[in-house]
Chains A and B, each alone.
Chain A
């Protein structure tokens, strides 16, 4: 039911792991549904220079995790937000219909990690503002 591209990516996933002290960190899904994905990002000047994932999930979940992280490296955070599940699935040359929900997880994990990055950045800015006022 999986195409060869999906199986190939699943067999040799890229960017597995966790970035230490990440600039962005997002975890989505839950164990009851059988899918959890965590993406950690290293970001310099709003450009994603590295991304790593950890996924508890099926073949499709792992393949989409690998492909999604691969697709956002080198992109700006705003460009990365445009990496939708449809684009990840397209890159994988399609997923079986009952597996489409797995690709949504990757999109959500990226959004979550970038949200975390932006929140951290805002905190830093507000912290530096506060410092100025002190």
Chain B
């Protein structure tokens, strides 16, 4: 059985989305900026996609800027806002949360090298930014604040509306990375109040290689990609017609089926989670159990290392992600878990299971069955577990 429980990494593209995209790879191939009929046909589709996305975000079509990824949208928002505000003499401070995706984290590190003062907001042990922490560090010379809506590792939902209000009170711009939020949470930019918002199609059953940045009209940020006149001359590069058509279709489908899908996914996740907590000892559930998206279950299994769990699950056909250092190729385990105060040796044994709309209860049960076996097997190999149990195993 092949079971995909890594929807936080990427999702399969819906068949309906692919069907919508295909004509734009072959028959309707014109460059959307060309004046001739080939180009106009593409331009019409791009314009429709922009309108559809704007309708979901509750904004104007000309506030939607297409990008090649969520990472590009995040980079553009953070760097573009910081550089523009500095140029305008409106500030040198950049505030992000400690649990941002690397797209924001490393963009902020780059800004630090350019002379910006970068401050990371801490999170509580549930993985949520506390509003007071922003009030403590924000100043009137803060250029931009960026906090994600839903965290990619533990799924916690951040208090964006409140944080945004504080940022605005101090004249700072507010960006939110909504890459993990899209299929699960309503993204109304007026309700959220944000100036900028990033999305990425492949996280919500759309194609890879296409994302978007919402930039509120009146907000000016520096360009990241210099080139042609695409995207209101703010982002050069021939428009990925098939990609944006696919993204718009995927977004519409997500919104239309959000309640139904959320209910289904949460049911699987909760069932799986309760089995894991009941059937495995020395396990820690990471993240807030109420305030989170329905897809993610993140656990730390004591005395074992996450990459080993990931590989053994993979041998059983089950795909997951790990927050262990070994799985990431670095020496440090997940910055998100460490920020939440998870001890480093426990963070090494962390696994993220992220469910999707196409998973079934049978799959959730199979994954739980296998996980119980695998944890027992790895613990039997672990010197730490035997110390804990005060037993000597002979095999």
- The 8 Å CB contact of A54, one of B311, B326, B348, B382, is B382
Nearest CB of A to B382, in Å: 4
Q: If the complex has contacts A18-B393, A33-B331, are A58 and B384 also in contact, measured as CB distance less than 8 A?
A: no
Bound complex: CA of A68 vs CA of B329, how far in Å? 23
When C-beta atoms are compared, the residue in chain B nearest to A10 turns out to be B311
Bound complex: CA of A17 vs CA of B391, how far in Å? 11
The digit string for A29-68, where 1 denotes a CB below 8 A from any CB of B, is: 0011111111000000000000011111111111000000
Are the CB atoms of A27 and B383 closer together than 8 Å? yes
- The 8 Å CB contact of B345, one of A2, A31, A38, A58, is A31
Are the CB atoms of A58 and B380 closer together than 8 Å? no
- The 8 Å CB contact of A34, one of B326, B381, B386, B393, is B326
Bound complex: CA of A33 vs CA of B311, how far in Å? 19
Are the CB atoms of B308 and A54 closer together than 8 Å? no
The digit string for B301-329, where 1 denotes a CB below 8 A from any CB of A, is: 00111111001100100000000111101
Nearest CB of B to A73, in Å: 15
Are the CB atoms of A56 and B395 closer together than 8 Å? no
Bound complex: CA of A59 vs CA of B305, how far in Å? 9
Q: If the complex has contacts A31-B348, A37-B383, are A58 and B305 also in contact, measured as CB distance less than 8 A?
A: yes
**B-side interface size class:** 20 to 34
Q: If the complex has contacts A18-B393, A61-B305, are A56 and B383 also in contact, measured as CB distance less than 8 A?
A: yes
Q: Any chain A CB within 8 A of the CB of B392?
A: yes
User: Which A residues are in CB contact (< 8 Å) with B306?
Assistant: 58
Are the CB atoms of B324 and A58 closer together than 8 Å? yes
When C-beta atoms are compared, the residue in chain B nearest to A2 turns out to be B311
**A-side interface size class:** 20 to 34
When C-beta atoms are compared, the residue in chain B nearest to A59 turns out to be B311
- The 8 Å CB contact of B381, one of A2, A11, A13, A99, is A13
Q: Any chain A CB within 8 A of the CB of B333?
A: yes
Bound complex: CA of A94 vs CA of B212, how far in Å? 42
Are the CB atoms of A56 and B384 closer together than 8 Å? yes
Given contacts A55-B383, A56-B385, 17 further A-B contacts (CB under 8 A): A2-B311, A11-B315, A18-B386, A31-B344, A31-B384, A34-B305, A34-B326, A34-B333, A36-B383, A52-B394, A54-B386, A55-B381, A57-B305, A57-B308, A59-B308, A98-B329, A99-B326
Interface residues of B (CB under 8 A from A): 303-308, 311-312, 315, 324-327, 329, 331, 333, 344-345, 348, 380-386, 392-395
